[in-house]
Amino acid sequence: MKEKISGKVYVLGNNIDTDQIIPAKFLSYNPSLAEERKYFGKYALYGVPEGQQGLPSGDKPFIKEGFSSEYKIVIGGENFGCGSSREHAPLALNEAGAEVVIANSFARIFYRNSVNGGYIIPYETELALNKSFKTDDTAEIDIINNTIKNITTGKVFELKSLGGILPILEAGDIFKYAKENNIK
């Protein structure tokens, strides 16, 4: 796993649910088929209605065209990933090119699906970072020091430690971690 992740930021509000992250109508695609898996990226955050995106500033689509997003870092508020327990939600963000989601809190199932599948790094913070960043800001996350720097403003913010999930994320997913550690 990289020690630093840099990229453009996409900012959302509170209570972004799994149906907003990947609407149910797109769950007919098979994630185990490469040709169909890419559609999860194409429709990531497709269910967040324009004008109602919970964006503190701006109204930009996550996917402008094609199958991937220019945004590597998603910043939300409280209860990110609430709703149904679909593992397709963190997969969709990953397929779109996002590497990290930072939020004040996560729905437990979204958090576990992110880690277990190795899809995306779920960072928590006590700060309302969705009020300190704007969509299109550039940021750099330092995984070793658990910080995020808003390159646009120069401000640095603390993130909670990844703690016990870090070895799973470094291995790639829960199954690779178990295999590497002879866990049966």
- Phi then psi for residue 36, to 5 deg, are -95, -30
Residue type, 107: A
Selected residue with higher pLDDT from 104 and 1? 104
pLDDT of residue 56: 44
116 close to 168: Cβ distance less than 8 angstroms: yes
pLDDT exceeds 60 at position 50 = no
- Tens digit of pLDDT for each residue in 161-179? 999 999 999 999 999 999 9
Q: Where are the domains of the chain?
A: 4-180
Rounded to a whole number of angstroms, the distance between the first and last alpha carbons of the chain is: 24
Q: For 161-179, b where at least 16 C-beta lie within 10 A, e where not — what string? A: ebeebeebbebeebeebee
Tell which residue, 59, 79, 45, has the closest CA to residue 136.
Answer: 59
Enclosing H/E stretch for 93? helix 88-96
CATH tag for 4-180 (out of 3.40.50.300, 1.10.10.10, 3.20.19.10, 3.30.300.130):
3.20.19.10
Rg (CA), the chain: 15
- Tens digit of pLDDT for each residue in 52-97? 545 444 467 888 888 899 999 999 999 999 988 778 999 999 999 9
- Tens digit of pLDDT for each residue in 115-152? 999 999 999 999 999 999 999 999 999 999 999 999 99
pLDDT of residue 48: 65
